[in-house]
Amino acid sequence: MTWMGRRPALVVLALVALGGGPGHGQELPGDFVLLSQIDPSIQQDLRYAGRHNFMGRRIAGYDGNECVVKRAVGAALREVQRELRPRGLSLKMLDCYRPVRASRDMVAWAQDGRETAAERRYNPGFSKAELFRLGYIAERSGHSTGAAVDLTLVDLRAPKGPPFDPSRDYADCTAPAALRAPEGSVDMGTGYDCSDAKAHTAARSISAEQRRWRTILVGAMTRQGFVNYSKEWWHFSMPGVASGAYDFPVPRR
């Protein structure tokens, strides 16, 4: 989910409606670019464009599953990928630019007074109504500036795992990888968007191998100027890039 914490409010700079969203033949606003045009080898699995996420449905503003970022962020991600590829690894993008309307959709969902067992898998220790109070969901997100990304690592030598099945009763996001919803990536100790202390980047309740994967990811990202959010092993931002929040829809790939 990722939040902005106690930062100053951002002004929405682009409340634009581009039909089905900007595609490869359309210009994006505010120095945004399609990551696939900068480095097509970086894998993409934008969770909020489908059902494999904490809300169990497509989230508002995700008209498609194309990773959009600020140009400087995309260039830095390309350098991270160049470092990882000789080691048989690849980045996998889980969320990139996020429209302001998506954050508002998340807030409304957290406050709607309903919660299913499938939704509870992402916050096993407390109800979703607490996500807003505890800061896991907020009306303003750094993702809306194009300067923040959620991502993980894929071992290119490992066999491809099973696909996500929305009808299955998976274990919660803190369970062993074989029991929780499949991530299609290395085992980081929790699933993506897991609201739990085990998802804190420096958590001690994970195995040495899981900690090693987190160290590899954080190290590669840090060397290119990214800063990790300590409560979410998957979330990174690039200081000095944000210039305001945007609300154009995420385009289709």
Nearest to 181 by CA among 196, 166, 200: 166
**52 annotated among ligand-binding-site residues:** no
Amino acid found at 95? D
Q: What is the CA radius of gyration of the chain?
A: 17
**143 annotated among ligand-binding-site residues:** yes
Task: Point out the catalytic residue in the list 79, 119, 209, 232.
Answer: 232
* Structural contact between residues 69 and 33, judged by C-beta atoms closer than 8 angstroms: yes
Gap between the Cα atoms of 9 and 11, Å rounded: 7
- List Cβ neighbours of 195 (8 Å cut-off, separation of 6 or more): 1, 54, 122, 123, 125, 126, 131, 134, 136
Q: Is 139 a catalytic residue?
A: no
Helix axes 208-222, 71-84, angle to 10 degrees: 130
* Structural contact between residues 110 and 128, judged by C-beta atoms closer than 8 angstroms: yes
The runs of H, that is alpha helices, within 52-177 are: 71-84, 100-110, 117-120, 129-133
- Point out the annotated binding site for Zn(2+): 143, 150, 235
Which residues are known to be catalytic?
A: 232
